[in-house]
Structure 1
Amino acid sequence: MTGMDPIVYRPARDELAYTFGGRMPVAHVRSGDVLDVVTEDCFGGLVRGPGDLPSQVCRMPYLNPVSGPFFVEDAEPGDTLAVHLVSITPARDWGVSSTFPHFGALTSTSQTATLQPPLQERVWVYGIDRQAGTVRFQATETEHRVDLPLDPMIGTIGVAPGGMESRSTIVPDSHGGNLDTPELRAGATLYLGVNVHGAMLALGDGHARQGEGEACGVGVEIATTTTLIVEVIKGMPTLWPRLETDREIMSIGCARPLEDAYRIAQRDLVAWTSALTGLEELDAYQLVSQAGRAPIGNVCDPNYTVLAAVDKALLPAAAAAYGGVHGRLRQRSAGPR
């Protein structure tokens, strides 16, 4: 990567954050800076084997820690912060997943209460082979095992909410947060609307991989070293998080019920498509309806996450999103460091 040496941040355990908003910055950075950030897993590294049940070794609300926040100079409300994920590297040769008694898509919760017994709490340990690019699933009750592709992602990334709010890192919303989508992998650019002076960016909750929907509520949780580039886009507001890859643009909606999250994402993508192409709104709606995808991020957090995605090649004479920042940062990240 060309340009400058990265800013390296490795938090001590007592420096990890559990909210977006309400925290003093750990560092000041500028638009264009490269950051190498060490992140801890959602259990704070305390779940390391089958005997480490999260309910016994972890303590609420100290789950899902993030590294940061980073104060981004010149970022003001009404701007957009572009965050390009250069690389996400597992910090250990193992990851963990689990089930919880009242958490996940297929158990009763406080919001969807039933009379069935609580789901059993159980821990799975996954071996990670970075050289082979695999994540090994091992069943707990039989000898079945299978190697899955290593596909690292950042589950939680966001900025401070507006209105002097402080939000738990477990919650996804318009400020970002626990978005839990596999699309947040290396090579993607995330666009976040700035709500406070300095934006106050933070990230954590790495997954070695995660199925779409994160059905049990827990990915293959890992600590990471994540390299990213930040850039402030002045005077361009972004109401809901957006993603751009080399191939697609994506809008992210977060809400309950799932229908509302879906609608938020679709409505934003239709508006974005119309703005980039000049298509009339109903024409853009029709094109997105027939050409788009709707991958689900999670159906287990306090809000659910749904994406709306469309292939950029299918958009007629589309202008580059946000002035082409994704392409510039992608090219920069591909250069020698």
Structure 2
Amino acid sequence: MCQNCLVKTIHHAQHHFGWDNSLVPEARVASGTTLEFHCLDSSNGFFTPQSTAADVGAMPFDKINPVNGPVYVEGALPGDVLKVTIDAFRPSGFGWTANIPGFGLLADQFTTPALALWHYDKTTLAPCAFGRHGRVPLKPFAGTIGVAPAEAGLHSVVPPRRVGGNLDIRDLNAGCTLYLPVEVEGALFSIGDTHAAQGDGEVCGTAIESAMDAVVKLEVVKNMPLATPRFSTPGPVTDHLDKAGYEVFTGVGPDLMTAARDALRYCIDALCREQHMSPEDAYMLCSVCGDLRISEIVDMPNWVVSFYFPKLVLQ
């Protein structure tokens, strides 16, 4: 157990753009150390309050999803588990959401770039206005959080892996404990891609992407079998959205992906028709506050996927 594990800071410049177990650690820490990571947003700071949709196509895709680290945790060996206690997020107050052509669940239907800019109170984290359409409750978390894979070479930070990475799990917020399987000595932990809010599924491919500081404690756990990431939450995970109920749209059929696309598409159609939104605005709003859920997967040959849109966003 670490006897004198003070908070160590990993600054904005101490980041990388892909998983690679040959990277030199930015810090070596004892098990039980608490660290503060000054995380950039997933655009590496490309978008600013002056950005427009015309800038979406110019975003450098070789510089997306920067993650701070890596951090070498003493005593971590392949086969161990890294316990990550998520203590706090300190958001910046500015964020963005984009429809990026070629990216997202309905990429074939949404081919026009779109950009929404968000300005929120970083102290109170009050629901953030989405133009004239509504207000989105915030729930900060890190979309990308993980350790280095055993396979040599540079690996894209975009897809999730058994050692974590771009998990985009909305419920990994402050108070949660995440467990990651270790594949290399020292674990080589990194974190970034911070979000102020996201729906389950992140359906357009982006959330409220927002730079923020993340405070976590890293501990090595021995003799804990773990094949893929596991996490524990301290309480309810949707109470920021539940208060007024939901409008729910279903997709039904033999293919889960098709059913998910259908459920989302029906929700977008309803928002356009009933709230007079543009399709792009509806798509981005669904991505930051709507939840995809598998409602039924046993009554063959058809399965049910539901898309939950929280009513309070539009009140």
Fold shared per TM-score above 0.5: yes
Residues 47 and 188 of structure 1, relative CA distance in 2, 3 Å threshold:
same
Q: Which residue of 2 aligns with 1:123?
A: 115
Matched, 1:33 2:33: yes
Q: Which residue of 2 aligns with 1:271?
A: none
Residues 226 and 258 of structure 1, relative CA distance in 2, 3 Å threshold:
farther
SS at match of 1:187: coil
RMSD: 2.5
Residues 17 and 84 of structure 1, relative CA distance in 2, 3 Å threshold:
same
Q: CA deviation at 1:3?
A: 6.2
SS at match of 1:103: coil
CA distance in 1, matches of 2:202, 2:153: 27
SS at match of 2:41: coil
SS at match of 1:53: helix
Q: CA deviation at 1:232?
A: 0.2
CA distance in 2, matches of 1:64, 1:258: 28
SS at match of 1:101: coil
Matched, 1:20 2:19: yes
Question: CA-to-partner distance for each residue in 1:199-253, whole Å, 9 max, x for gaps?
Answer: 000000000000111011000001111100011001323210000123489xxxx
Structure 2, unaligned runs of 5 or more: 238-254, 258-286, 295-315
- What is the identity percentage for the equivalent residue pairs of Structure 1 and Structure 2? 33
Q: Which residue of 2 aligns with 1:88?
A: 89
CA distance in 1, matches of 2:126, 2:94: 11
The farther-off stretch of 181-190 and 126-135 is 126-135
Q: CA deviation at 1:19?
A: 0.9
Q: CA deviation at 1:11?
A: 3.0
Does the 8 Å contact 1:80/1:193 carry over to 2? yes
TM-score normalised according to structure 2 size: 0.70
Name the amino acid aligned to 1:30.
Answer: A
In the TM superposition, 1:1-337 aligns within 5 A as 4-12=5-13, 15-21=14-20, 22-48=22-48, 49-51=50-52, 53-56=55-58, 58-90=59-91, 92-108=92-108, 119-139=111-131, 144-247=132-235
TM-score normalised according to structure 1 size: 0.66
SS at match of 1:34: strand
Q: CA deviation at 1:94?
A: 1.2
SS at match of 1:23: coil
Question: CA-to-partner distance for each residue in 1:68-88, whole Å, 9 max, x for gaps?
Answer: 000010000010000010001
Q: CA deviation at 1:101?
A: 1.1
Name the amino acid aligned to 2:71.
Answer: F
Name the amino acid aligned to 1:40.
Answer: L
Kindly report structure 1 stretches of 4+ aligned residues shifted beyond 3 Å: none
Structure 1, unaligned runs of 5 or more: 109-115, 250-256, 260-299, 308-337
Does the 8 Å contact 1:82/1:232 carry over to 2? yes
Question: CA-to-partner distance for each residue in 1:282-331, whole Å, 9 max, x for gaps?
Answer: xxxxxxxxxxxxxxxxxx9xxxx999xxxxxxxxxxxxxxxxxxxxxxxx
Name the amino acid aligned to 1:9.
Answer: I
